[in-house]
Structure 1
């Protein structure tokens, strides 16, 4: 039985922020806006209270119809700002709850490092076994830009300031004048936010997306990363006590990126863009090192005569002075009596030269010949020398503070910051390889079958020096594809071998698709054989996306690993075999049940194959922010993976708005990273203890449910007359391009309105906006009803599965969240936008009927009276948004009708309803806390 939710403190916070918002609206927007906001809320609440009566609905619609464009625009902005303030209140409340739990001691919060390590110890994991687990541990979130991120960077900064001031007000020691001053500052910050436009005036370039992704590091992630390690070290000491001294804590946290490397379907990502991304990443981390060295210099004010640095330190200082020559006199003149400041000033100078070189390369696109004069190894050695010297005169405690953090950051970020993945669609490689083989050997590659392709590719990869041909005969597309590999080779030398992670091949359908990439790599010196020895400086990750792709994983991987040349290259690289799994496209393809189950089974097959071959494998999860794209809480998602499949390492995409919600505030970033890492630790205990196997009966049931669910989903999305018309007319998908929220087109092929062409991001975003989140649940209700028909005992089986099987429990928990965000009464309003009313009514009834089946069956399985009964915090969060979110949807429907009615006669750029419409898209995304 779930205890009643006690959130009085949170509700007080929301009331405070709401009252300030009303005050700001009255002074900055005028009383008409505040009054209209209140009226729309009141009328929507009355509509719901009366069971969506036709009379109340007409009253609400009439109110909206009479509003001028300017008032509507401001009303929508007010709703949007309310959601942002509620999000801040909830985030702040969660932080305070965790602080209180930590103050009380015990396990801290569930999922904390302390809680996780204590449970491990109690389960019999010794310090030696923990070391085995830690040595394999790697938590690797990968930032991606292609989902529709709707918040401007300026808005994110303003929200961060409001969060910090709000946190001050939660301090019970803040009273009198100081509290009043904080209240006035909070009001000013909300006022400023109101005066800042949340809609972008111009489209985002890839360079803008790169800068946006990088902004999270100085804003929160540098400090959060240092605190994550510090918290882990403290928890390890507390739990394992003296035995903790035996445990070495490796670097278990790293970051990846697709921003500037993901060119699949995005013509704006060029070879030059990839160079820019890698260099901007280097600039960001070098700036942080310069800043921290300066801070450290200010702190380590030890004087000669009061401390005695050891001999190694003094030798290092002398070597620096000799290396820098005459300029050293100017740098060191203020620090001659303070040895550590002296050393750090010289280190900062050398790091600043590195930064100046990367700035120059960015300014004039010049090569960074010879790399940096102050190498990463030298930098880390200097930090280690300082630490050892501090220890030598009894100041280990001082060495364990900011210096320790800087050492850990240097080990985590190097000079590359993030490992950039490059992604491209398989046909681009096939085309380039075909052209090269024709130019070099006169062969018709496209005419060959798979076995002949593999044989030819193996021989071509083995050719010393690569194939010889006239590059001028290649098409522009083929030349560009080759240039990407040239960039990878050049940047590895220029900056660091660590600046790239994997080359991801989307739409991998056969083993030859992987060897094609390796042939292109061989042509640019990234792979091959010299003197009888293989070398490989690139890792290739096949991406399996559709249901068919997931079902052929076994065939493709076994065929690939049977190729001797590939075996040699994999061994030479020293890398794990990485396999990427696509959540978004598989769900759009076959529905949530087929997607979730085929992904689960694919992981089992991949791990079985790697075990049979004796190779290590890492799974790369292409998750989105929404349930329909593999989203959901990270901790639970990791624990829901197949037993003994994680094995210490997990890599996953962090997409769209999830970057903002998880990483904009440093305090929340620490929590999110901690929960992800502890989920990884728990899921990896199979490295040192036997893992319980799945119950075969459960797997059989899931296979049957997935088959039925896929049939129902395809019947709706591929066989129902008018479904695609409904999609384009009963959602705002056609208007997304006006919002300037991403550099990637919403469709793979321009003017192609097919289900296969529309990108999963736009697909999910559109359904979410119109409150029809069916990609996350459609097919489940009918599947459960069909499977249980006439067999009441089967419901008990499903209830047992929910109780005992993490995969099934996580699936239904996420589905409950998605169902709670659906509102089929509101969706009916969007259905009314269809050109053919019969089509709108018919498709809406299909979706609505399945919604009711889903709710009924899931409540029976989880044995609850309402959705999210086991997660009252989330239920309350969604409920408190509805009085603002519902009116927004009615406003958006009205604006879509006005925009579309005007048609070509009123171009979007000059249509007075366009700006308010774009604001509704932003606001609804904020209210539902998801875009794509």
Structure 2
């Protein structure tokens, strides 16, 4: 933008709290980046384009200040030719990228300031949580019981909402590092000529780099994309958090035997989640797990070489332990230059053994070749034993400080990442299991028509199969493409478990699980490929846990009954005993919301967790919940710390798995500071939810639950009346949002629908939410709640007071309303009306939009009445500032998206029109940050 792009008056209006000096650096960064972008636009595209962009910016800010009517700006932009529109779209999209970057850096800056000033630890940090736990004086036995098998596992998933290209992310990191370097410099050194030139070059590169991919991401690309976050942050941060956590907890309870294994472990679905993704094949499973192993082994090998260079101690000056001397002796390192350097010789030997492991697992060795060939390690524990020998020897001769440095980090890394890096979960829909198993049973002559059996007959048949070792089919059996694909994939998974160990593929998730047979079908399929042994020494064994996923409102309501029925099967209980009596259950936030709306879905999840906890206590098992949350509130998103603390009593119990999806992955893990803050929040909240009484309802719990039952029913009725019962609603949705055009955007390997069809049920929850975000309606994050609250309260002030009390006392209710407030603040019905104008049927256009507008007004009014706040983001000033900073730059993108959609749907087949639509989708998603 030009020199005047962000003037002082504008900054006071949209750059944070007026007069707040703490935000002055953010305003300066935004002004600087806008100025440099303006210079680049002027140089590259000419003054006419810069003048167009600048005048559009000025008008956009006037619209946000209500100085001019929105229709004026829309009309002006609607008259642009397609090339001029492209310039404007690119300019405002790039500024959104730069504004996000400035905000992230400012968050870092404020955290550094508070640390430097000795401020109390920030809520959600490990330090704050440890202080909280210490103040509670908890019983060590209780702590030990609750943290048995403690686990926090963020599971990275590939979903079509990450619109940012890797190339763009790289340039963003360059700009971020330049801003950080300026912050670290002394007065007078900042923004020298070379620094300014580097910033200009980075922004120039950004401007000349295409925001859109030429082709859709392949699954292989998604696998590689996820792995880069290990080098960016996770190799550094995850072991460090585990080490700090172990020190802190053992410091509080030294005799409780806590955390014998790391609590924080990474997971992934990319390459194993084949529910609706035809590209997840046997080759994909092998590629994903192999690339993960390559990443882990490459990291460990590189660290060993650096450690070799650092540990140069001579045995003429120190005396190593006999065990270390033995490692040096068997290393086959005969170099005379290292004859007196036992650590270097020992580490060369360890490197050679690990390289042999890599050769066996991968067929090659990442990094430099070893100095010799030695026997490979069979397990990570063998490598850890050798590293422990190095550690003990260093401490013996007073070099403990060296043992506590790189060696300690490497030992933590091997404990966390092993040879496999992260657990790769498998997932498939229960309907596919039924189809495949039916075919296998028919081919094996066991049952000609499995689908015709009732549930009791199916269970009896499956239990019988699980008692026998014999497979149903031979390897050369003639099967359908579906059955052969599923068997090949599971065979590949079994091979990777054999090669990399049981941590490589820890879980099998069953989508749309509704019955006992749905669970036992998977057990039989695992037996078919040799993963499940029905006749182990101590009973049936299986390294892969079976995790039912309950997704719809009805399935959530039946979840506890389903789990109880599964646990009644002796063969399944025996399998569970082999896994330490730990049962994982996954809860789906996306489909439940699409099914019943925001409030009903959230309450169905809470109720399901309460009921599942009761089942676990009654059956004497440990329940581990896996939360399938998305980035946006409509799919369970929102601040993770608050969300975990809002879980019902007993639902966390030291263990938590949670999905990290779409654009949220980059926002959380692109650099070590961000990654540490987000991972600490997960761990801190898990500890607090496990060890403290968070819910705070006491004897009022049953009454509160009954009240929410009532509210959820009202909200679901209101939601379903619009989405599932209004004639023409699907037609309205497809016309008023870019759902159809979204399918053309090359942002993910997975199709936007599970199957061909035009119904809401056929559509995946992710593009459903994404499309509402693009149109700034955000309907999945609030619709129905206003009606529920208003109809329940009526004119009864005591009822309103009751809701206000629950808001003060109950984290679940408070968090749910806070997240809704965030979504309502991002909703803009003025812009939404522009999208509604795309609906050709005028009567339908008004009939649906009027319902949405009325419910939006009710939801805002009732939310403020319950919270007692005077505006929607009273409890989130950081987001309020962010919205003021960024949303004026969204205004032109929305108007141009609507115009391009109108032209495209009217038959304009200009390729640039199509590209402009895709660019606006990209730019809006970037500015909203959590849109899918």
Same fold (TM over 0.5): yes
Counterpart contact for 1:371–1:493, Cα < 8 Å: no
Alignment-derived partner of residue 318 in structure 2: 307
1:355-366 aligned at under 5 Å gives the runs: 355-360=358-363
Count of residue pairs brought into register by the alignment: 906
Alignment-derived partner of residue 272 in structure 1: 283
Unaligned runs of 5+ in 2: 1-16, 367-373
Please give the alpha-carbon distance, in whole angstroms, between the structure 2 residues aligned to 1:725 and 1:612: 48
Please give the alpha-carbon distance, in whole angstroms, between the structure 2 residues aligned to 1:878 and 1:46: 16
Unaligned runs of 5+ in 1: 322-327, 364-369
Q: Which deviates more from structure 2 when the two are superposed, residues 572-581 or residues 840-849?
A: 572-581
Distance 1:98 1:416, change over 3 A: same
Cα drift, residue 749 of structure 1: 1.5
Alignment-derived partner of residue 405 in structure 2: 401
Cα drift, residue 561 of structure 1: 1.0
Alignment-derived partner of residue 184 in structure 1: 197
- 1:162 matched to 2:175: yes
User: Which string of whole-angstrom CA distances, capped at 9 and with x for unpartnered residues, describes residues 467-512 of structure 1?
Assistant: 3568534322112222222122111111222100211110111110
Distance 1:129 1:98, change over 3 A: farther
Cα drift, residue 669 of structure 1: 0.4
Cα drift, residue 114 of structure 1: 1.5
Counterpart contact for 1:236–1:244, Cα < 8 Å: no
Counterpart contact for 1:137–1:681, Cα < 8 Å: no
Alignment-derived partner of residue 145 in structure 1: 158
Q: Which deviates more from structure 2 when the two are superposed, residues 188-197 or residues 67-76?
A: 67-76
Alignment-derived partner of residue 232 in structure 2: 219
Please give the alpha-carbon distance, in whole angstroms, between the structure 1 residues aligned to 2:291 and 2:845: 48
Cα drift, residue 665 of structure 1: 1.3
3-state SS in 2 of match to 1:400: helix
Distance 1:120 1:316, change over 3 A: same
- 1:696 matched to 2:712: no
Alignment-derived partner of residue 40 in structure 1: 56
Alignment-derived partner of residue 338 in structure 1: 341
Cα drift, residue 306 of structure 1: 2.0
1:721-870 aligned at under 5 Å gives the runs: 721-750=727-756, 752-870=757-875
Please give the alpha-carbon distance, in whole angstroms, between the structure 2 residues aligned to 1:308 and 1:400: 19
CA RMSD of aligned residues (A): 2.5
User: Which string of whole-angstrom CA distances, capped at 9 and with x for unpartnered residues, describes residues 713-741 of structure 1?
Assistant: 00000111211111111111101122110
Please give the alpha-carbon distance, in whole angstroms, between the structure 2 residues aligned to 1:127 and 1:309: 38
Please give the alpha-carbon distance, in whole angstroms, between the structure 2 residues aligned to 1:434 and 1:842: 47
- 1:385 matched to 2:389: yes
Cα drift, residue 245 of structure 1: 11
Cα drift, residue 699 of structure 1: 1.0
1:507-656 aligned at under 5 Å gives the runs: 507-530=512-535, 533-574=539-580, 576-656=582-662
Cα drift, residue 108 of structure 1: 2.2
Please give the alpha-carbon distance, in whole angstroms, between the structure 1 residues aligned to 2:835 and 2:532: 54
Alignment-derived partner of residue 886 in structure 1: 891
Distance 1:304 1:684, change over 3 A: same
3-state SS in 1 of match to 2:743: helix
- 1:26 matched to 2:42: yes
3-state SS in 1 of match to 2:426: strand
Alignment-derived partner of residue 369 in structure 2: none
- 1:462 matched to 2:467: yes
Alignment-derived partner of residue 927 in structure 1: 927
Please give the alpha-carbon distance, in whole angstroms, between the structure 2 residues aligned to 1:658 and 1:128: 37
- 1:415 matched to 2:426: no
- 1:95 matched to 2:108: yes
Please give the alpha-carbon distance, in whole angstroms, between the structure 1 residues aligned to 2:827 and 2:119: 39
Cα drift, residue 4 of structure 1: 8.9
Please give the alpha-carbon distance, in whole angstroms, between the structure 2 residues aligned to 1:428 and 1:477: 8
Alignment-derived partner of residue 447 in structure 1: 452
Please give the alpha-carbon distance, in whole angstroms, between the structure 1 residues aligned to 2:18 and 2:89: 36
User: Which string of whole-angstrom CA distances, capped at 9 and with x for unpartnered residues, describes residues 222-269 of structure 1?
Assistant: 1122332354467569x85x9699866641110110000000011111
Please give the alpha-carbon distance, in whole angstroms, between the structure 2 residues aligned to 1:7 and 1:138: 37
Alignment-derived partner of residue 97 in structure 2: 84
Please give the alpha-carbon distance, in whole angstroms, between the structure 2 residues aligned to 1:22 and 1:234: 50
Distance 1:570 1:606, change over 3 A: same
User: Which string of whole-angstrom CA distances, capped at 9 and with x for unpartnered residues, describes residues 680-734 of structure 1?
Assistant: 1100105999995762221111110100000000000011121111111111110
Q: Which deviates more from structure 2 when the two are superposed, residues 70-79 or residues 615-624?
A: 70-79
Please give the alpha-carbon distance, in whole angstroms, between the structure 1 residues aligned to 2:403 and 2:546: 41
Distance 1:371 1:337, change over 3 A: closer
3-state SS in 2 of match to 1:99: helix
Alignment-derived partner of residue 209 in structure 2: 196
The normalised TM-score by structure 2 is: 0.93
Counterpart contact for 2:261–2:415, Cα < 8 Å: no
1:54-93 aligned at under 5 Å gives the runs: 57=71, 59-93=72-106
Please give the alpha-carbon distance, in whole angstroms, between the structure 2 residues aligned to 1:693 and 1:650: 27
Cα drift, residue 307 of structure 1: 1.8
Q: Which one of 474, 487, 492 corresponds to residue 482 of structure 1?
A: 487
Cα drift, residue 575 of structure 1: 5.4
3-state SS in 1 of match to 2:184: coil
3-state SS in 2 of match to 1:761: helix
Distance 1:175 1:350, change over 3 A: farther
Cα drift, residue 182 of structure 1: 3.0
